Amino acid sequence: MESVDLQVLEAARRWAAEGHGLALVTVAHTWGSAPRPAGSWLVLRDDGMTVGSVSGGCVEDDLIARMRDGRLAGAQPFALPYGVTQEEAARYGLPCGGALELVIEPQPDPAQLDQLAARLEQGELVVREIDLLGGSSTLSNAQRGDELQWNGQQLRTVHGPQWRLFIVGAGQISYYLAQMAQALDYDVTICEPREEYGAEWRVPGTRLLTTMPDDAFLALHADARCAVVALTHDPKLDDLVLLEALRSPAFYVGAVGSRLNDARRRERLMQHFDFSPAELQRLHGPVGLPIGSHTPPEIAVAIVAEMTAVRHDAPIARRLASGATSPGAFCQTEEVASTE
């Protein structure tokens, strides 16, 4: 799987190499209920072909029409608003009076796109800055936590994996989870000290460590943009990372297992390692949203969904954390997320 950014970048590079005219479109700012967040990318080819999206609807249709009749041509990048009035919002299919402002780059520099792709392949975080007045665009190093900036004249976008996922265990759930996380722009590290599992790990773009989970996690220097998921079913390994992760700034800490095994794990952490109930409240177990998952890909979907809900502080995550969701609200068995 590829992130949306990488798909757009790859299409832009390929079309430029084939000699096509193209325009790169970035969502610079949104108001109200915009369908796509700021930073979203779209590339248009001179014949109207597109990759990516900025609204998922009529805005793309209008951009294709503009591309075909030459209104997106030129040498200078420029801003293009949509849905500023209620009439325009209705015309372009924007919900609830939403509006967005796009930055259009006619014929972006192919050499710079190649350079950006090379840096992203190395796992770098990169800032791309577009100056509408001078018409220039530059690349520079970014830091985790850097965010998109737009002042009407300069647009700064951040590219690369801003979030990190640390997985303990290289089994089947991890295989699907790693790929799904990569599609959501996570930098994925797998920790697997068991040679019989790690030897066959084959997910491009991930990092495999063979040291013990606690040492590997501490070397990661986790911050609030890091998620941790323990998936070995072996307390000797899973508990090692939980001991460190639950007292770290990581925004999400989860561990696989049945309800019974989860209860035993919590009791073990309290009795032998002095964890308080408040500290254990951070532990997501059984890991993943309770959607009735049983197969490895289903469990991976549940984990990614819960990580996303926690990351965005979605109401469902708050309800589950507080125990407010009734047991009958989801189809879930005692062994959800317990087999790999």
pLDDT in the model for residue 124: 85
pLDDT in tens, 23-43: 999 999 998 766 788 999 999
Q: Where are the beta strands (DSSP E) in the chain?
A: 22-31, 41-45, 50-52, 78-82, 99-106, 126-131, 137-141, 149-150, 154-159, 163-168, 186-191, 207-209, 226-230, 252-255, 283-284
pLDDT in the model for residue 70: 93
Q: Of 72, 77, 73, 33, give the one whose Cα is nearest residue 55.
A: 33
pLDDT in the model for residue 328: 32
- For residues 284 and 279, give the distance between their C-alpha atoms in angstroms, rounded to a whole number: 11
pLDDT in tens, 218-270: 999 999 989 999 999 999 999 999 999 999 999 999 999 989 999 999 999 99
pLDDT in tens, 99-157: 889 999 999 999 999 999 999 888 788 999 999 999 999 999 988 778 999 999 999 99
pLDDT in the model for residue 331: 34
Q: What is the mean pLDDT of residues 201-230?
A: 94
pLDDT in the model for residue 338: 39
- For residues 253 and 279, give the distance between their C-alpha atoms in angstroms, rounded to a whole number: 11
pLDDT top residue among 127 and 332: 127
Q: What is the mean pLDDT of residues 272-282?
A: 89
What residue spans of 122-258 are helical by DSSP H?
A: 172-183, 195-198, 213-220, 235-245
Q: What is the mean pLDDT of residues 38-58?
A: 90
pLDDT of 340 higher than 80:
no
Mean pLDDT score of the chain: 88
- For residues 44 and 22, give the distance between their C-alpha atoms in angstroms, rounded to a whole number: 5
- For residues 299 and 25, give the distance between their C-alpha atoms in angstroms, rounded to a whole number: 35
pLDDT in tens, 2-28: 567 788 999 999 999 999 999 999 999
pLDDT in the model for residue 97: 59
Q: Predicted confidence band at 95 (pLDDT cuts at 50, 70, 90)?
A: low
pLDDT in the model for residue 109: 95
Q: What is the pTM of this model?
A: 0.74
Question: What domains sit in the chain, N to C, each tagged with a CATH number?
Answer: 4-159 (no CATH), 163-329 (3.40.50.720)
pLDDT in the model for residue 278: 85
pLDDT in the model for residue 305: 97
Q: Predicted confidence band at 336 (pLDDT cuts at 50, 70, 90)?
A: very low
pLDDT in the model for residue 6: 84
Q: Predicted confidence band at 327 (pLDDT cuts at 50, 70, 90)?
A: very low
Neighbours of 25 (CB within 10 A): 25
